[in-house]
Amino acid sequence: QKEVEQNSGPLSVPEGAIASLNCTYSDRGSQSFFWYRQYSGKSPELIMSIYSNGDKEDGRFTAQLNKASQYVSLLIRDSQPSDSATYLCAVGARGFKTIFGAGTRLFVKA
Amino acid sequence: DADVTQTPRNRITKTGKRIMLECSQTKGHDRMYWYRQDPGLGLRLIYYSFDVKDINKGEISDGYSVSRQAQAKFSLSLESAIPNQTALYFCATSDSSGSPDTQYFGPGTRLTVL
């Protein structure tokens, strides 16, 4: 079992819709959770971090964390073609090292 | 100027050659990392360093070595490059006094080994 799992996609949504990206992790001791956006050929860029159960909103982005289910998700509201990218879920273990998922490709159709 | 820089940005080399990739940062972070990225495999950790005197192997360190010359500089070497080391390489930093798990990435080096 991979430590951080994501559906590779591609996930295709129409412009203006909500995109929902999901991630599960195996280490119950994990304490920090991140979503990075990566455009093709570019470096990952941090878009959201979340540390406690529940929802965290930042503009059009909402991160959701459920530690009991070992599940973290990212919702993108009013999706735009510029949101088309690969989204990497990352899980931190007490400041030791961060484990990245393989990423989900999102395609927003204009 | 970028906070995390990598040189070179692109490199094509031949099997058996020694290659060095360099990373510099102006963020003042104490922790630095080297990752490689292959299609469908995500980011895999090669080496990491929590301070100048601390070097640790990641999950795929075979065939690689590193040097932490200063807090701001972390180099990755391929002693004898082989074709399956063709990949996109990223340097990253984090701050143990802030959010130690939050990583900031350089622009990447695309390495091709023929």
- Closest by CA position to A6, among listed A28, A18, A21: A21
Q: State the sign of the Cα–Cα–Cα–Cα dihedral A13, A15, A18, A22.
A: positive
Structure tokens at A93: 């273990």
Inter-chain touch A90–B99, beta carbons under 8 Å: no
Q: Does A10 touch chain B (CB under 8 A)?
A: no
Average pLDDT over residues A72-87: 97
**pLDDT of A80 higher than 80:** yes
Check if the beta carbon of residue B83 is closer than 8 Å to that of residue B114: yes
Burial A43-53 (b: 16+ CB within 10 A, else e): bbebbbbbeee
Q: Does A92 touch chain B (CB under 8 A)?
A: yes
For residue A95, what pLDDT is reported?
A: 59
Q: Give the confidence band of B40 by pLDDT, cuts at 50, 70, 90.
A: confident
Inter-chain touch B104–A97, beta carbons under 8 Å: no
**pLDDT of B34 higher than 80:** yes
Inter-chain touch B58–A97, beta carbons under 8 Å: yes
pLDDT tens per residue across span B63-85: 999 999 999 999 999 999 999 99
Taking the C-alpha atoms of residue A85 and residue A90, their distance in angstroms, rounded to an integer, is 16
**pLDDT of A72 higher than 80:** yes
For residue B98, what pLDDT is reported?
A: 77
Inter-chain touch A103–B42, beta carbons under 8 Å: yes
Check if the beta carbon of residue A110 is closer than 8 Å to that of residue A22: no
Average pLDDT over residues A20-24: 96
For residue A96, what pLDDT is reported?
A: 67
pLDDT tens per residue across span B89-113: 999 999 888 777 788 999 999 999 9
Taking the C-alpha atoms of residue B103 and residue B47, their distance in angstroms, rounded to an integer, is 14
Interface of A with B in 41-70 (CB under 8 A): 41-46, 49
Percent of chain A with pLDDT over 70: 95
For residue B51, what pLDDT is reported?
A: 92
